[in-house]
Amino acid sequence: MTEITFYTFAANPLDVARRVAAKAHGQGKQVMIYAPDPTIADAIDRLLWSAPALSFVPHCRDSDPLASETPVLIGTDADALRQADVMINLHREQPPAFARFERLVEIVGQDEAGREQGRARYRFYQTRGYALQTHDLRQHAG
């Protein structure tokens, strides 16, 4: 069963996604970043390219010809998501077909609307019996 981890109260959800992707890549995991909003997909793509050289994360869009050889993918089309070990959800709703991934990462920002959407996703997974972990990022700030 998919292990689901929530990172809550993220000051910068995209930076949290970048760090989680980098850590998973460092552990030899294949990563799918699900970002159906093209603006968010572009933003995480730029952020991954602009990361410090020593922490560069090889990535591309899942529609790129090199996708089969690239450890971190950014996917926008729910019907065409490639298989990976870890899915990072950058959408306000639970992602489709999340159960085929070993691990799902949900990142919840600090705004009230985002927190309410995060709570709804948490309840969705909880009522279906998924193992949930939560990391409150306010405790790690500073």
Residue 25, domain member (yes or no): yes
pLDDT (tens digit per residue) in 62-95: 999 999 999 999 999 888 888 899 999 999 999 9
Return the CATH number at 70. 3.40.50.10110
Say which amino acid occupies 133: Q
Q: Is residue 136 part of a domain?
A: yes
- 38 half-sphere exposure, CB direction, 13 A CA radius: 0
- Position 55 scores a pLDDT of 73
Does residue 104 form part of some domain?
A: yes
Identify whether 2 is part of a domain: no
* Domain-located, residue 1: no
From first to last of its 142 residues, what are the pLDDT tens digits of the chain? Answer: 999 999 999 999 999 999 999 999 999 999 999 999 999 999 999 999 887 766 788 999 999 999 999 999 999 988 888 889 999 999 999 998 899 999 999 999 999 999 999 999 999 999 999 999 999 999 866 5
Tell me whether residue 50 is in a domain.
yes
**Given this model, what pLDDT does residue 53 score?**
65
Q: What's the number of domains the chain is made of?
A: 1
- Could you tell me the pTM of the whole model? 0.94
- Assigned domain for 26 exists: yes
User: Is 62 domain-assigned?
Assistant: yes
Task: Tell me the residue range of the domain where 14 lies.
Answer: 7-140
Burial of 38 (0-12, 13-18, 19+ CB in 10 A): exposed
